[in-house]
Amino acid sequence: MERMKVAVLGATGVVGQRIVAMLDRHPWFEVTALAASEGSVGAPYGQAVRGRWHAPGEVPEWAAGLPVVRCVPGVDARITFCALDANVAGPIEEAFARAGYLVSSNAKNHRMSRSVPLVIPEVNPEHLSLLAMQGYGPGGIVTNPNCSTTGIALALAPLHKRFGVSRVVVTTMQSLSGAGYPGVPALAIAGNVIPYIEGEEEKIEKETVKILGNGDRPAGFRISAQCNRVGTTVGHLATLAVELERKTSYEEIADAFTEFRPLTAHDLPTAPAAPIALHDDPSRPQPALDVDRGRGMVLTIGKLRPDPVFDWRFTLLVNNLVRGAAGAAILNAELLVQQGLAT
């Protein structure tokens, strides 16, 4: 099959670099353009990221020589991945959608718009039908959730489906890479925890119920989030307490997590065989040990046990750069292709 041409906006950032690395030898996509800010434009990509390459391995050879271009329509691509700073992403994404490109975005700007799908392919692929409301013709904007929300919504999806979720309390411990590059100053975080990440709690509370809703209406449960920045490099840890509408057993909850396999790599190349792994060691998940499970696409859940206030509590770990960002955007683009929306 001829590969579809794609471009990456914000290709020099922490998330953009991961997208470039994950698109190396992608079976469906071929990268034709890498775009970033004026400060990077004109330089070969390899030079633009020199000294700040954060993805595993080396800069792919085909990418290193591509000149970085401006974030303006005109690139030879059908899909554009957006990993732009949210201060500039909104109007740039609209310009690309208006020009007929499908935009698969990591940025927060359009996530809560009524006509913009906020999608996790294993959870709410049917929300892609919202694209028709955007009025961009062949173009459109599809978003993936905030990096913490991705893990939280993915964990709650099988519980909500089988038992009905009625209330959730979540506390996050989020890694430094979640703040991009150069991110949080070393002196502010070394030996410290910062109990504030601007806008993060609101994003978790609003995005989770949009994803688990029916496209028209958000899900009816309440969720309360508290977010902390910690000194780990990659991987957001979260502890959750969940109240369910139908009371159930440990075995049923464990089955709900492990039997949740709505997609396979056969359907979409970046999809893991099972998106959730349940660990029975009470000291897991840990960012240092579990962040790369399933090449970063698998959520690890552990410490599943009864909760004396709500019904159940557990800890989850999501790879914020892969499942929560680059891999999420690529999976959404694969879904667009699989559903015939990116012809």
Which residue's CB is nearer to ligand NAP, number 86 or number 288? 86
| Three-state secondary-structure class, residue 146 | coil
Q: Decide if residue 43 touches ligand NAP (CB under 6 A).
A: no
Q: Decide if residue 180 touches ligand NAP (CB under 6 A).
A: yes
Q: How many helices (H) and strands (E) does the chain have?
A: 10, 12
In whole angstroms, the minimum distance from the beta carbon of 274 to ligand NAP comes to: 22
Taking a C-beta distance cutoff of 8 angstroms, is the pair 253, 276 a contact?
Answer: no
Q: Decide if residue 327 touches ligand NAP (CB under 6 A).
A: no
Which residue's CB is nearer to ligand NAP, number 81 or number 312? 81
Q: Decide if residue 119 touches ligand NAP (CB under 6 A).
A: no
Which residue's CB is nearer to ligand NAP, number 72 or number 273? 72
Among 36, 75, 142, 211, binds ligand NAP (CB under 6 A): 36
Which residue's CB is nearer to ligand NAP, number 89 or number 170? 89
d(CA 118, CA 105): 10
Q: Decide if residue 178 touches ligand NAP (CB under 6 A).
A: yes
Among 83, 157, 169, 330, binds ligand NAP (CB under 6 A): 83
In whole angstroms, the minimum distance from the beta carbon of 83 to ligand NAP comes to: 4
Q: Which stretch binds ligand NAP (CB under 6 A): 80-88, 162-170, 224-232, 282-290?
A: 80-88
In whole angstroms, the minimum distance from the beta carbon of 28 to ligand NAP comes to: 22
Residues 6 or more apart from 121 whose CB is under 8 A from it? Answer: 263, 268, 271, 331, 332, 334, 335
Residues 6 or more apart from 155 whose CB is under 8 A from it? Answer: 240, 257, 276, 299, 301, 314, 316
Residues 6 or more apart from 236 whose CB is under 8 A from it? Answer: 147, 148, 151, 172, 173, 174, 175, 178, 317, 318, 320, 324
| Rg over CA atoms, the chain | 19
From 82, 110, 127, 147, active-site residue: 147
- Whole-Å CA distances, 41 to 182, 246, 316: 19, 55, 39
Q: Decide if residue 84 touches ligand NAP (CB under 6 A).
A: yes
Q: Decide if residue 319 touches ligand NAP (CB under 6 A).
A: no
Q: Decide if residue 130 touches ligand NAP (CB under 6 A).
A: no
Which residue's CB is nearer to ligand NAP, number 117 or number 178? 178
Residues that bind ligand NAP (rule: CB under 6 A) add up to a total of 30
Q: Decide if residue 13 touches ligand NAP (CB under 6 A).
A: yes
In whole angstroms, the minimum distance from the beta carbon of 313 to ligand NAP comes to: 25
d(CA 221, CA 224): 10
Q: Decide if residue 106 touches ligand NAP (CB under 6 A).
A: yes
Beta pairing class for 29-35 and 165-174:
unpaired
- Write down the residue that tokens 């969720």 correspond to: 223
Q: Decide if residue 12 touches ligand NAP (CB under 6 A).
A: yes
User: Residues 4, 6, 12, CA angle at the centre, nearest 5°?
Assistant: 155
For residue 127, indicate whether it is catalytic: no
| DSSP track, 280-330 | -STT---HHHHTTGGGGT-EEEEEEEE-SSSSEEEEEEE-TTIIIIIHHHH
Residues numbered 234-263 forming contacts with ligand NAP, rule: CB under 6 A: none
The number of beta carbons lying within 10 Å of the beta carbon of residue 34 is 25
- What token pair was written down for 169? 């309390």
For residue 227, indicate whether it is catalytic: no
| Catalytically active residues, by annotation | 147, 236
Binding site for ligand NAP (CB under 6 A): 10-16, 36-37, 39-40, 71, 83-86, 88-89, 106-108, 147, 177-178, 180-181, 320-321, 324-325
